[in-house]
Amino acid sequence: MVNHANKSTADYLFEKAEQYFRRSRTNSNVRADLEALGNVFMVKAVDLDIKLQGLAKANYTTSLPVVA
């Protein structure tokens, strides 16, 4: 099975990060670990979102007609 990164994947990573942040507020015993996991997911989500925006921008500019 091939895993294609798309906007829904970035959204999924953002949601997972939010889940860990919410859980960290309710469970003080493992707060630091849950916040760290949330941060990992947030970094991955932001990196993926930036890459997707760059790809979309590159695809848009390469599809423009050349005016001479």
In a domain, 34, yes or no: yes
In a domain, 68, yes or no: no
Model pTM? 0.70
Q: Cα(62)–Cα(68) distance, rounded to whole angstroms? A: 15
Using CA atoms, how far residue 66 sits from 16, 32, 54, 57, 63, in Å, is 43, 53, 20, 16, 9
- Residues of the domain holding 14: 7-62
With a CB cutoff of 8 Å and minimum separation 6, the contacts of 39 are: 17
In a domain, 21, yes or no: yes
Query: Which of 38, 39, 48 shows the shortest CA–CA distance to 11?
Result: 48
65 falls in which pLDDT band (50, 70, 90)? low
In a domain, 19, yes or no: yes
In a domain, 44, yes or no: yes
The pLDDT tens digits for 1-56 are: 445 556 678 899 999 999 999 999 997 889 999 999 999 999 999 999 999 888 88
Split into its structural domains, the chain has a count of: 1
